[in-house]
Amino acid sequence: MERQPELHWYALKVFFNKVFEMEALADELGLESFIPVRKVQLQGEEHLRIAKRLATPDDRRIDNQYVQAGPVIFKREPVVNSLFFVRAPASRLQEIENALQGRGFLYKMADHQRPSIIPDREMGIFMLVCSSGADGLEFFCDEEFTRYRQGDRVRVLEGPLKGAEGYIKRIRKDRRLLVAIEGFIAVATTFIPPQFLAKVTD
């Protein structure tokens, strides 16, 4: 039986606000991808305009930017306009870079030779928090979150963030859970009651 290639998460910088086009392309290539987004509910004329657009079968514009739940439509807004994640075997990285057609690049390690691999566990926890629907999430780029003092590493035991792991950090005088993809982005939750947390010792 042929061995399946090992998949890893990679980060890409995508220029010109084209992350949703890249998401559609990754889908065409059969690759898993992720964009950290905020969902904003559309109202009024914008809601009517987008509802009409989504109801038009021949409209192939970037409709993966919108999510419809019954009569409600949300717009997905990237928290970092240029940041895109894709999960792929190393053998397909050149194919991905070719597909970018000068619209971005794959982040590489300090030696500028090897692509930066993001551990599955780290990526999984980050996606869990981003997709939890929890209120008050705040995102930080690498330069911003590295200045916050590292605290206790904890695991969330209850609530929509159950299973998430990160560090308790004091951000603007409030103790919050910070979950990071080191070198790229971090997300901070609102306050989580201490009884919902357990210190990670391993």
User: Do 20 and 95 sit in the same domain of this protein?
Assistant: yes
Q: Which of 118, 137, 153 is at the close of a domain?
A: 118
User: Do 39 and 98 sit in the same domain of this protein?
Assistant: yes
Query: What string of H, E and C letters represents the secondary structure of 25-43?
Result: HHHHCCCEEECCEEEEECC
User: Do 125 and 114 sit in the same domain of this protein?
Assistant: no
pLDDT tens across 27-47, in order? 999 999 999 999 999 999 999
User: Do 146 and 188 sit in the same domain of this protein?
Assistant: yes
Q: Sorting pLDDT into bands at 50, 70 and 90, what band is 172?
A: confident
The enclosing domain of 26 has a CATH number of: 3.30.70.940
In angstroms, the CA 11 to CA 130 distance is 16
Q: How many folded domains does the chain comprise?
A: 2
User: Do 125 and 161 sit in the same domain of this protein?
Assistant: yes
Residue 32 amino acid letter: E
Domain presence at residue 96: yes
pLDDT tens across 125-166, in order? 999 999 888 888 999 886 666 666 567 789 999 988 999 999
Mean residue pLDDT of the chain comes to 87
Q: Which of 52, 84, 118 is at the close of a domain?
A: 118
Q: Which of 118, 141, 157 is at the close of a domain?
A: 118
Which domain does 28 fall in, by range? 7-118
* pLDDT of 60 higher than 70: no
User: Do 25 and 94 sit in the same domain of this protein?
Assistant: yes
Q: Read off the pTM.
A: 0.87
Structure tokens at 77: 């807004």
Domain presence at residue 42: yes
Strand runs (DSSP E) across the chain, as ranges? 7-14, 32-34, 37-41, 66-69, 72-78, 83-89, 104-106, 117-118, 138-141, 153-156, 165-171, 174-181, 185-188, 197-199
